[in-house]
Amino acid sequence: MKCGDKWDIAVCSWSFQRNVGEIAAAMKEMGVEHIHLALAPALADNGRDYLAEVKKQDWKITATMLSFDYEDYSTLETIKTTGGITPDDKWESSRALFERAVGLTVELGVPYITFHVGFLNHHDKAYAEKFYFRVRTLAEIARAAGVMFLLETGQETADDLLVFIETLAHPNVGLNFDPANLILYNTDEPLGAIRKLAKYVRHVHIKDAVRTKVKGEWGSEVPWGDGDVNPFVFLNELAAAGYTGAISVEREAGSQRTKDIALAVRRLRAY
């Protein structure tokens, strides 16, 4: 059975760095109709125009994605302190933005909303309790609207994330699994991680990377199939776990993103 028969192959809208019409044209050329949709343009001042363009497309949106303009990905240390819902002085505004994003997710008829909540650390009790409270708060906002909240993997080991999600024990919280993030952050190994976390995974990113050789520095993102993820074995693990959701190609580096996305789609279909 081919990859496209097992899972819906999608693309991440933000990866293209293009407008809605250009994204639609690229997707049509690739023969892809599923998309993981960024909400940042919809939350901007002219957001209704963006939404109107999105609604004109014959897209099947697998999930929406929220990001925050204060996040600083310059280094591993800057994103550790600025990522997601970590900054205390941004909590109230980020909570309000999440509530708006959930409303848009409902408007678009999408079942999941995803984003990086930030670095999870259950060893620091006060820090952990802050995160438990904030994630529960967001999960309840999403639950009340009929949307499931998915945390994206990356900044912590699979074991630490497992402790967090099982201690949280909230039925409306799942995972968006990104194998490359575990390599980029140099936190874990994707194959072992998916085995541990599979029962909580509701959405998957297709992204590849090469691990850094310098402690404290980012790894390097590369086209799907050219890095350390070991893509065919990873897909086999997904299949063995009984995963039935979407697999969405994400490309956040390089100068030819559309070509790299198309390459990933072709490689997935060859699986």
Q: Is residue 135 part of a domain?
A: yes
Q: Is residue 1 part of a domain?
A: no
Torsion of CA 202, 207, 209, 211, to 10 degrees: 0
Phi first, then psi: give them for residue 128, nearest 5 degrees.
-65, -45
Q: Is residue 261 part of a domain?
A: yes
Q: Is residue 168 part of a domain?
A: yes
What residues are paired with 61 via a beta bridge?
35
Q: What is the pLDDT of residue 4?
A: 66
Q: Is residue 51 part of a domain?
A: yes
The residue written with tokens 């897209």 in the block is 59
CATH number of the domain that residue 97 is part of: 3.20.20.150
Q: What is the pLDDT of residue 121?
A: 87
Q: Is residue 217 part of a domain?
A: yes
Q: Which amino acid is at 211?
A: R
Burial class (CB in 10 A: 0-12, 13-18, 19+), 194: buried
Total domains in the chain come to: 1
Structural domain range at position 224: 6-269
Under 8 Å CB-to-CB from 198, ≥6 apart: which residues?
Answer: 237, 238, 241, 242, 243
Its pTM surpasses 0.75: yes
Under 8 Å CB-to-CB from 178, ≥6 apart: which residues?
Answer: 152, 153, 154, 204, 205, 207, 250
Q: Which amino acid is at 132?
A: Y
Q: Mean pLDDT by 10-residue block, N- to C-terminus, for the chain (271 residues)?
A: 81 97 98 98 94 97 96 93 95 97 98 95 90 97 98 93 96 98 96 97 98 93 97 95 97 97 96 88
Q: Is residue 107 part of a domain?
A: yes
